[in-house]
Amino acid sequence: MTNAAPSPSPLAVVRTVADLRATVRDWKRQGLSVGMVPTMGALHEGHLTLVREAARRADRVVASNFVNPTQFAAHEDLDKYPRQQGQDARLLAGAGCHLMFAPSAQEMYPEGFATSIAVGGPALGLEGDFRPQMFGGVALVVTKLFNQVQPDIAVFGEKDYQQLMVIRRFVRDLDLPIEIVGAPTERDAHGLALSSRNAYLSETELASARQLNGILAQAGAEAASGRLLPDVEREACTALLKTGFERVDYVAIRRAEDLGVFRNDLVDAPARILAAAWLGTTRLIDNMAI
């Protein structure tokens, strides 16, 4: 008879800023470094990879679990965004997290809350055109979380590459003493980027979604070979529509460093191809290096 592997200890969960700060303050009194992974919950292996990376770099790890209302427009999926905090806590414990911060909306945005953050630079264009409220909401909640936790490092996934660039920019601009780490996108066996929203896809839609990665890889290779970028981007959009995507918001090839547009429509520096497209009511995003 074999012994079963021990299950991880229950994860400590706090729901108030005061309790969060008390725990982190105790860690820092012991001289321990603190890493953070902000999430909106509904965790999958992609999130857990970020937690493991934070645990590799810091003595203690805090993961936030908060569906942030300020980054959703009125017509978006705030109400149906999946919420499963009990399961999330078990997954985090197994990945080496030490504390889950799961505040209410009232705790984060109490009555009378009246502050916003405006972001530019890498926030402009792409997602900024189609979801103009999002990056201001992301910057607001992440700044609050950074102030509440005061981590030494924070880990974000490259799947949301534009978001990662926005966070790096405002951390530099606001002189926040936090190292921002970007972790590679986790994918399934077919190359589809892991996302909480993948759960919305039907089997037919999932088959189409799994071709997104290959179409972007092909377009990236053509851009790297010296083809004009508008031609590459247009052909990638056409390929996505033929694959079963119903609408393509964008396929764009930009400078990897700052998401700036290439002059002369040719890749002459490290680049990133980014895309957003719809399958039914589900909007998928993906990107990869060129």
- Which residues belong to the active site? 47
Contacts of 75 (CB under 8 A, 6+ apart): none
| Cα(27)–Cα(34) distance, integer angstroms | 8
Q: What count of other Cβ atoms lies within 10 Å of the Cβ of residue 108?
A: 19
State the residue for tokens 């926005």.
Answer: 166
| Cα(241)–Cα(246) distance, integer angstroms | 6
Sign of the Cα torsion 74, 248, 49, 161 reads negative
| Cα(26)–Cα(4) distance, integer angstroms | 34
DSSP structural state of residue 77: S
The alpha-helical segments, DSSP class H, found in 150-190 are: 161-173
